[in-house]
Amino acid sequence: MKNETAQQQIIEVGRRTIHAEALALKHMEESLGDEFVRAVETILACRGKLVVTGMGKSGHIACKIAATLASTGTPSFFLHPAEAFHGDLGMISPDDVVLALSYSGETDEILKIVPFVHSNGNRLISMTGNASSSLARNSDVHLDIMVRKEACILHLAPTSSTTAQLAMGDALAATLMHLRGFTAMDFARLHPGGSLGRRLLMTVGNVMRTTNLPVVTPDCEAGEMIHTISRGGLGLIVICDGDKVVGVVTDGDIRRAMESRQADFFNIRAMDIATRSPKTIASDAKLIEAEKKMTQHKVNSLLVVDADRLVGVIQIYDIKL
């Protein structure tokens, strides 16, 4: 019973934390207004980069916001405010916009760089929980992320406030993506190492199997079919008449034929159980096209052909590495 009570308390504290942060986000959603529009328009009009800065926990969130913006079409980087005051202010060009995060709006390291931002001719957007703070009052645009209380059990550690900062940053990024007409292909170009980038940018020819393909002739006998499909390791054999692809037989086709033909199985030929119009794709097609075709036709493999001539085989496992 004691253990059950302890578990219930753990779950309850977790739920209260999530609920408090959800309420903070709900309040921010309802209060989003003209200043958010001004912030988006300011960033959209920027001819340089968006410089995101913050100290402590706000600095960690600022790093994430800068990374999200940079990967979604808004050139951006994180500037540590303490390092900025010791020489890194040279990273800010006159064409840049500065986004400064400080929940209190009174963070000393942030306030120290404000005079430079103004004298350098940069627009300053602040994100604070206090619209009357020094940072908010000295900004061109202020994004209010005030939360009624932190989700921390002591109401002290940045929890709800950092969640609000993160959500506001995501709202900026998503809105800017929409206004820029940022597409999945744009995203892929900035994420060539990611799964989506790989599927959108790479072609079938980049990953298809081309060596030791399990090819047989139309009159191939059952014993040879079994040997070839086992050796090929693709779960299928391709039937070719000369250079032309005329059919495909899967391991499922062979098993079904063994059950239905029984004693007569070893008298069959490849074309007797073949699919005569196998699903094919060109080698220059994108991987995303191959994936869609496999899903549409409920198959795990496609024959890669060039003018009906087999040049390779691609499987779903080659796409989803």
* Residues 180-200 pLDDT 10s: 998 877 776 776 666 666 677
Tell me the CATH number for domain 2-182: 3.40.50.10490
Q: What is the pLDDT of residue 321?
A: 57
Query: Domain residues of the chain, as ranges?
Result: 2-182, 204-319
End-to-end CA gap in the chain = 47
For the stretch 12-60, pLDDT in tens is 999 999 999 999 999 999 999 999 999 999 999 999 999 999 999 999 9
Work out the average pLDDT over 125-149. Answer: 95
Q: Does the pLDDT of residue 3 top 80, yes or no?
A: no
CA pair distance 66, 143, nearest whole angstrom: 16
Q: Which CATH number fits domain 204-319: 3.30.70.2190, 3.10.580.10, 3.90.1640.10, 3.10.350.10?
A: 3.10.580.10
SS3 string of the chain?
A: CHHHHHHHHHHHHHHHHHHHHHHHHHHHHHHCCHHHHHHHHHHHCCCCCEEEEECCHHHHHHHHHHHHHHHCCCCEEEECHHHHCCCHHHHCCCCCEEEEECCCCCCHHHHHHHHHHHHCCCEEEEEECCCCCHHHHCCCEEEECCCCCCCCCCCCCCCHHHHHHHHHHHHHHHHHHHHHCCCHHHHHHHCCCCHHHHHHHCEHHHHCECCCCCEECCCCEHHHHHHHHHHHCCCEEEEEECCEEEEEEEHHHHHHHHHHHHHHHHHCEHHHCCECCCCEECCCCEHHHHHHHHHHHCCCEEEEEECCEEEEEEEHHHHCC
- Chain center to CA of 12: 32
For the stretch 210-257, pLDDT in tens is 888 999 999 999 889 999 998 888 989 999 988 889 999 998 989 998
The answer to whether 142 and 126 are in contact (CB under 8 A) is: yes
Work out the average pLDDT over 80-92. Answer: 91
Q: What is the pLDDT of residue 193?
A: 60
For the stretch 49-60, pLDDT in tens is 999 999 999 999
Q: What is the pLDDT of residue 1?
A: 54
Q: What is the pLDDT of residue 145?
A: 94
Q: What is the pLDDT of residue 196?
A: 63
Q: What is the pLDDT of residue 149?
A: 87
CA pair distance 151, 13, nearest whole angstrom: 10
The answer to whether 65 and 77 are in contact (CB under 8 A) is: no
